């Protein structure tokens, strides 16, 4: 039995979390949930954004499944997601994007995995504001060790999962020093995995290539800000944020999460699509070595997605969140 920290989150978070835990129960997945929460709802109730009990649970269990958490834009507290990633050095943000039968998209044959450096870059939180001059400086901190970690992780993943190519997206033509650190780190990793084809692309060209011919990419690795942007672009290619998984992985801890927002405008209405969180939970099962259970649930999900009427409204159906979960359960 695996003890896992469960963070329902805000907005639609509790609804989609319930859908996932119901499916896991029906599939008899050997997971025991330890529920703790964080975010705006928790703050309103207790005055704490990230309760100490949650941190203790994470440090004990080392694995968590997290629903979407509300973060105010432009003011107030820093992102809880960023805080957890930096506190526990969850330096790998792993985001698969794959076309799936039954999910409407303009593309076919996309099966790529994005590795985003998760703790450095412009998200380091190093900012200075000169009120007199009206100038804000945000520092793009890139380290040699951080670059090596994420590049090696991307190549190791490619080798482990039979992937053929790793592409580095960068801006070394302009960001000479920071870009060169990533280029050097990827070349170093490529030398360790000679069976993997390595290429690099300037970030603006990378965006164009992803839109024009996304099927050419396999594993993509990049810095924090570029990865944040590219991961949403890749999600858009395969049906949107509501259908893609996400994981934050370090050397001894992992937090799996839905990467979409908390959607407070539809909270409590039974409209939310649980696919993204469910797929994140399946990534978690593979991480825990429960491959057979993950494959069983994935097949049931894919079978359900083929029948639009059994899905939520965003996928063209009429089912509620709980009904969609029950339709998946019926196909286990």
What average pLDDT does the segment 94-117 reach?
96
Fold match between domain 1-101+239-332 and domain 106-111+119-237? yes
Residue 49, pLDDT score: 83
- We find that the CATH architecture of domain 106-111+119-237 is 3-Layer(aba) Sandwich (3.40)
Interacting residues of 9 by C-beta distance below 8 A, sequence separation 6+: 17, 37, 38, 39, 41, 66, 67, 68, 69, 70, 262
**Segment holding 71, helix H or strand E:** none
**The whole model's pTM is what?**
0.94
Domain borders along the chain are 1-101+239-332, 106-111+119-237
What average pLDDT does the segment 167-176 reach?
95
DSSP of 22-54: HHHHHTT-SEEEEE---SHHHHHHHS-SS-HHH
What is the signed CA dihedral for 128, 174, 119, 150, rounded to 10 degrees? -170
Residue 236, pLDDT score: 97
pLDDT band with cut points at 50, 70 and 90 for residue 125: confident
pLDDT digits (tens, 9 = 90+) for 51-101: 999 999 999 999 999 999 886 554 455 678 888 999 999 999 999 999 999
Q: Can you tell me the distance from the alpha carbon of 263 to that of 284, in angstroms, rounded to the nearest whole number?
A: 23
The CATH H-level (homologous superfamily) assignment of domain 1-101+239-332 is: Isopropylmalate Dehydrogenase (3.40.718.10)
Instruction: Please check whether residue 251 is in contact with residue 197, taking contact to mean a CB–CB distance below 8 angstroms.
Output: no
pLDDT digits (tens, 9 = 90+) for 228-265: 999 999 999 999 999 999 999 999 999 999 989 899 99
Cα–chain center distance at 106: 22
pLDDT digits (tens, 9 = 90+) for 9-45: 999 999 999 999 999 999 999 999 999 998 878 888 8
């Amino acid at each position: 039995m695996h003890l896992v920290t469960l963070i329902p989150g805000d907005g639609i978070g509790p609804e989609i979390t319930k859908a996932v835990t119901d499916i896991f129960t029906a599939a008899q997945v050997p997971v025991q949930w330890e529920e703790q929460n964080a975010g705006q709802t928790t703050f309103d109730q207790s005055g704490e954004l990230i309760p100490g009990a949650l941190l203790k649970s994470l440090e004990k269990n080392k694995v968590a499944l997290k629903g979407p958490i509300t973060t105010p834009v432009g003011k107030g507290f820093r992102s809880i997601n960023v805080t957890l990633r930096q506190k526990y050095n969850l330096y790998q943000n792993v985001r698969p994007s794959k076309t799936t039968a039954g999910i409407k998209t303009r593309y076919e044959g996309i099966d790529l995995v994005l590795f985003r450096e998760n703790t450095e870059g412009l998200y380091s939180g190093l900012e200075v504001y000169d009120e007199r001059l009206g100038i804000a400086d945000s520092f793009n901190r890139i380290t040699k060790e951080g670059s090596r970690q994420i590049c090696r992780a991307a190549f190791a993943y490619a080798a482990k999962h039979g992937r053929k190519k790793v592409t580095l997206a960068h801006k070394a033509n302009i960001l000479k020093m920071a870009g060169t650190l990533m280029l050097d780190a990827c070349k170093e990793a490529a030398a360790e995995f000679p069976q993997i084809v390595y290429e690099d692309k300037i970030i603006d060209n990378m965006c164009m290539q992803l839109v024009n011919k996304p099927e050419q990419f396999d594993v993509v690795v990049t810095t924090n800000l570029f990865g944040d942007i590219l991961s949403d672009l890749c999600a858009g290619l395969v049906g949107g944020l509501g259908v893609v998984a996400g994981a934050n992985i370090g050397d001894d801890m992992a937090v799996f999460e839905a990467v979409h927002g908390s959607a407070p405008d539809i909270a409590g209405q039974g409209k939310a699509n649980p696919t993204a969180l469910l797929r994140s939970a399946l990534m978690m099962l593979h991480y825990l070595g429960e491959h057979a259970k993950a494959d069983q649930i994935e097949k049931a999900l894919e079978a359900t997605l083929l029948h639009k009427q059994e899905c939520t409204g965003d996928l063209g159906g009429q089912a509620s969140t709980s009904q969609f979960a029950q339709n998946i359960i019926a196909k286990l």
